[in-house]
Amino acid sequence: MQTSVKKRVVGVDIGTIRTTLAIVDVRGNVIAHQQFATADYPEIGGYIDKLTEAIIELSEANGGYDTIRSVGISAPSGVFLSGCIENSPNLPWKGVIPLAAMLRDRLGVAVALGNDAHNTALGEKMYGAAHGMKNFIVLNLGVGLGSCFFSEGHEHQGAFGYAGEFGHTCFEENGRPCPCGLRGCLETYVASAGIAQTARELLAESTAPSKMRGVEHLDSKMITQFCDEGDELAIEVYRRTGQIFGRALATYATLVNPEAIIVTGGVSQAGEWLLKPTRESFEKHIFRNMVGKVRIMLSDLHNAERDVLGASALAWEVPEYSLFK
Amino acid sequence: MQTSVKKRVVGVDIGTIRTTLAIVDVRGNVIAHQQFATADYPEIGGYIDKLTEAIIELSEANGGYDTIRSVGISAPSGVFLSGCIENSPNLPWKGVIPLAAMLRDRLGVAVALGNDAHNTALGEKMYGAAHGMKNFIVLNLGVGLGSCFFSEGHEHQGAFGYAGEFGHTCFEENGRPCPCGLRGCLETYVASAGIAQTARELLAESTAPSKMRGVEHLDSKMITQFCDEGDELAIEVYRRTGQIFGRALATYATLVNPEAIIVTGGVSQAGEWLLKPTRESFEKHIFRNMVGKVRIMLSDLHNAERDVLGASALAWEVPEYSLFK
């Protein structure tokens, strides 16, 4: 019988390109990490072999495998309740993959699996800006716009586990087309491709000089760079984006009444260029009782660690599994 | 020491005009009820005297006061966490009234207090259409548009208890003015005054004959009546309202992912005239994974009983209080 408490977990972030794994202690320190190419393993059997081996090797080299309590996995189309990756359009393995159960059988420790946006929120609650909060929203603003909110201290999953699809709420009737098939989805305005489109529209509308003119693959990172250099049109791109984002966030907050909204993801690196106009628009549109009471803030977790920290946070959500001990 | 379980509660619904109280058993049967005029008691002391007396009289005449487990109260501006009515603009008593504590001291049983929209949702969960559901939205569509949603089986209150202010989400930038001070709030389009305004706009736009023409104080009830009589313009009023309502509900559901949306309140009596176009618009705008999976339905509780049943449901949320026994 095992009598001591194990204080380390493994967080695994499965991305389309890379799989990252890390050993994390109970305070959120990343003790060691490692990466391998997801696409090198087109068969799920081979992928599980590789992942099992990587977890055992990394932990044996860093304090021993028997210090590991459990494993948490973030995956696109990951569903916590089933422990499966369900019909991911972006990963190499098709259909429903019972990854949590398969990995648990190999490793002999508890394994939990969930989707990225929800695990990001768990990570912010356990180690980041949302520590100690009970009602908050975490946004992942990058290529798309995912989100998750907590209700009285627990993650809100919704009836089928689909809650938080903020990027696919309708911002404008018959607006910009979205890859999801609808028109006017919020993410076609405020996520990366939408910001680039707004920039192109602004350049066409205006004759003002701008460093954005003639740039072939304009992206939100470049636009932020131009803002830092004082480019007025680039600043206007984020001003327009923030007006839309703030109004949509006000709707979200009027329904959910969070104490804070934490913005993560690639586009959040625009920082105050985006957040300042977002807050102004938010305060103009929020339910009057909440004016001045909801903080809109950036994550304070390190970008490179956020994803594995979220996955490791999920590892604590399952009981320690001592059947094999 | 009291050893038997008490299986009856009192539900109290405090309205601006009337206070209604009812004795309700554990299965939601209303055993007896009574009303008195709220405005007859402009001082809170006198009101508490009257309410205490009414509760004791009604229960003594119906099985005895010692069968009553606890009391639940619904009040506008009622806050569950504090047990107070906080700065109600519509009730005669100003400031913060610790009504739950005051009444508990008189009655010697547990007293809980909460706001109407939240208690309506509790009532639907305990006795109505939401029985057995864990994630659902209850709407109260009448003079305004309040709401409450449940997350994994519990009521979501939000950080300050303000969650669910659906009527004050921005439907249209710089749209119709709302008494709350904002413009374009959803309730200025879909609650009773908004529906009447849409009717007036339609009458002005069109030259078609309609029974609505020349009616002085057109309201949603009359418009429903005209729909039943086949009036095309009246039907168009609910069609436009439903298009807006369905789109806004799709945003709510995309964030919360409920299994059902239950519509209560005066305007819900328009029934399918409103719900059919609402569902059509909802399915057009909802996040694609949820298409066809969220029921939009009417409450099956009796209108006259819904409010006291909601209040009585709240009475079960507090532990039985046996300090005085």
CB contact at 8 A, B245 and B278: yes
Per-residue b or e along B261-278, where b marks 16 or more CB atoms closer than 10 Å to that residue's CB: bbbbbbbbbbeebbbebb
Give the CA-trace dihedral at B277, B279, B284, B288, to 10 degrees: 180
Q: B121 near B155, Cβ under 8 Å?
A: yes
In sequence order, the 6+-apart residues with CB closer than 8 A to the CB of A86 are A77, A78, A79, A96
Which chain B residue's Cα is nearest to A248? B170
How does A256-290 read in b/e, with b if 16+ C-beta sit within 10 Å?
bbbbbbbbbbbbbbbeebbbebbbebbbbbbbeeb
Helix (H) or strand (E) holding A58: helix A44-60
What is the C-alpha separation between B158 and A261, in angstroms, rounded? 13
Average pLDDT over residues B158-180: 94
DSSP letters along B157-207, please?
A: --TTS-TT-GGGSBSSTT-SB-TTS-BSBTHHHHSHHHHHHHHHHHHHH--
A169 close to B255: Cβ distance less than 8 angstroms: yes
The per-residue pLDDT for range B84-143, each reduced to its tens digit, is: 998 887 789 989 999 999 999 999 999 999 988 899 999 999 999 999 999 999 999 998
Two tokens, residue A66: 């028997």
Residues of B whose CB is below 8 A from A171: none
Buried b (16+ CB within 10 A) or exposed e, B35-48: ebebeebeebeebb
Over residues B64-92, the mean pLDDT reads 89
Q: Which residues pair with A141 in a beta bridge?
A: A145
At the fourth CATH level, the homologous superfamily of domain A8-120+304-317 is ATPase, nucleotide binding domain (3.30.420.40)
Which residue spans within chain A are E strands per DSSP?
Answer: 8-14, 18-25, 30-37, 68-74, 78-79, 84-86, 96-97, 110-114, 136-141, 145-151, 154-155, 260-264, 295-298
H/E stretch holding B41 reads: none
Weakest mean pLDDT among A5-9, B164-168, B201-205: A5-9
What is the CB-side half-sphere exposure of residue B216 using CA atoms within 13 A? 0
Residue B3 has pLDDT above 70, yes or no: no
Weakest mean pLDDT among A131-140, A278-287, B62-71, B314-323: B314-323
What kind of fold does domain B131-300 have according to CATH?
A: Nucleotidyltransferase; domain 5 (3.30.420)
Using the predicted structure, report yes or no on whether residue B162 has a pLDDT greater than 90.
no
Residue B245 is classified by DSSP as H
Residue A24 vs residue B325, higher pLDDT: A24
Calculate what percentage of chain B has a pLDDT beyond 90: 84
Q: Is A144 left (phi over 0), alpha (psi -120 to 50) or beta?
A: beta
Q: Which of B52, B182, B292 is nearest to A290 (CA)?
A: B182
Q: What is residue B321's predicted lDDT score, i.e. its pLDDT?
A: 63
Strand pairing of B295-298 and B260-264? parallel
Radius of gyration of chain B from Cα atoms?
A: 21
Task: Give the integer Cα–Cα distance in Å for B296 and B298.
Answer: 7
What pLDDT, on the 0 to 100 scale, is given for residue B325? 46
User: Do residue B255 and residue A252 have CB atoms under 8 angstroms apart?
Assistant: yes
Q: Rounded to an integer, what distance in angstroms lies between the CA atom of residue B117 and that of residue B142?
A: 11
| Strands of the sheet with A96-97, listed across from one edge | A78-79, A84-86, A96-97
Q: Hey, what amino acid is at A302?
A: H
Average pLDDT, integer, range A40-66: 96
Partners of A263 in the β-ladder: A139, A298
Q: What's the rounded Cα separation, in Å, for the pair A163 and B84?
A: 32
pLDDT tens, residue by residue, A99-147: 999 999 999 999 999 988 899 999 999 999 999 999 999 999 998 999 9
Q: Are A270 and A223 in contact (CB under 8 A)?
A: yes
What is the rounded CA–CA span in Å between residue A168 and residue B290?
Answer: 12
Q: How confident is the model at residue A269 (pLDDT cuts 50, 70, 90)?
A: very high
How far apart (Å, rounded) are the C-alpha atoms in residues B251 and A165? 9
What gap in Å lies between CA A136 and CA A152, rounded to an integer?
A: 9
Cβ atoms of residues B168 and A285 within 8 Å: no
Residue contact B180–A288, C-beta within 8 A:
yes
Average pLDDT, chain A: 93
pLDDT digits (tens, 9 = 90+) for B233-284: 999 999 999 999 999 999 999 999 999 999 999 999 999 999 999 999 999 9
Closest Cα in chain B to A133:
B159
Reduce the DSSP state of residue B290 to 3 states and report it.
Answer: helix
Closest chain B C-alpha to A194 CA, distance in angstroms = 18
Q: What is the mean pLDDT of residues A9-24?
A: 95
Q: CA A83 to CA A66: how far, in whole Å? A: 23
* Average pLDDT in chain B: 93
| Best B182, B254, B294 residue to mutate vs chain A (most A CBs within 10 Å) | B254
Contacts of B181 (CB under 8 A, 6+ apart): A288
Q: pLDDT digit string (tens) for B184-237?
A: 999 999 999 999 999 999 999 999 999 999 999 999 999 999 999 999 999 999
A–B CB contacts, 8 A cutoff, strictly below: 134
Res B2: pLDDT: 62
Mean local confidence (pLDDT), A303-324: 84
Residues sharing a CB contact under 8 Å with residue A296, sequence separation 6 or more, in sequence order: A249, A260, A261, A263, A275, A278, A279, A282
For residue B169, which residues of chain A lie inside 8 Å, CB to CB? Answer: 250-251, 254-255, 287
| Rg over CA atoms, chain A | 21
Q: What is the mean pLDDT of residues A278-297?
A: 96
For CA atoms A263, A265, A271, A273, the dihedral sign is negative
In which element (H, E) is residue B323 found? none
Tell me whether strands B78-79 and B84-86 are parallel, antiparallel or unpaired: antiparallel
Whether the pLDDT of residue A4 is over 80: the answer is no
- Considering only the beta carbons, identify the residue of B135, B164, B182 that sits closest to A159: B135
With 50 as the cut, is the pLDDT of residue A325 above it?
Answer: no
Type of residue numbered B164: G
| pLDDT at residue number B291 | 95
B contact test, residue of A138, A157, A169 with most B CBs within 10 A: A169
Phi-psi region of A152 (alpha: psi -120 to 50; beta: other; left: phi over 0): left
Q: In sequence order, which residues have a C-beta less than 8 Å from that of residue A165 and are 6 or more positions away?
A: A146, A147, B254, B255, B257, B287, B289
pLDDT of residue A83: 92
Tell me which amino acid residue A9 is: V
pLDDT at B14: 95
Q: How far apart are the first and last CA of chain B?
A: 7
DSSP A185: B
Specify the 3-state DSSP secondary structure of B273.
helix
At B27, list the tokens: 């299965």
Closest residue on chain A to B259 (Cα) = A159
Percent of chain B with pLDDT over 70: 97
- Please, which residues have CB within 8 angstroms of residue B6's CB and are 6 or more apart in sequence? B66, B67, B68, B69, B320
**Alpha carbon distance B249, B244 (integer Å):** 9
Task: Tell me where in chain A the CATH 3.30.420.40 domain(s) lie.
Answer: 8-120+304-317, 131-300
Q: In a mutagenesis test of the A interface, which of B147, B155, B168 is the best target, namely the one with the most A β-carbons within 10 Å?
A: B168
pTM for the whole thing? 0.91
pLDDT 10s digits, A196-231? 999 999 999 999 999 999 999 999 999 999 999 999
Cβ atoms of residues B143 and B268 within 8 Å: no
Chain A interface with B: residues with Cβ < 8 Å:
134-136, 147, 149, 151-152, 154, 156-166, 168-170, 173, 180-182, 247, 250-252, 254-259, 285, 287-290, 293-294
Residues of chain B that touch chain A, judged by Cβ-Cβ distance less than 8 Å: 134-136, 147, 149, 151-152, 154, 156-166, 168-170, 173, 180-182, 247, 250-252, 254-259, 285, 287-290, 293
B202 C-beta neighbours (distance < 10 Å), count? 18
The closest CB to that of B162, out of A158, A163, A290, belongs to: A290
pLDDT at res. B322? 53
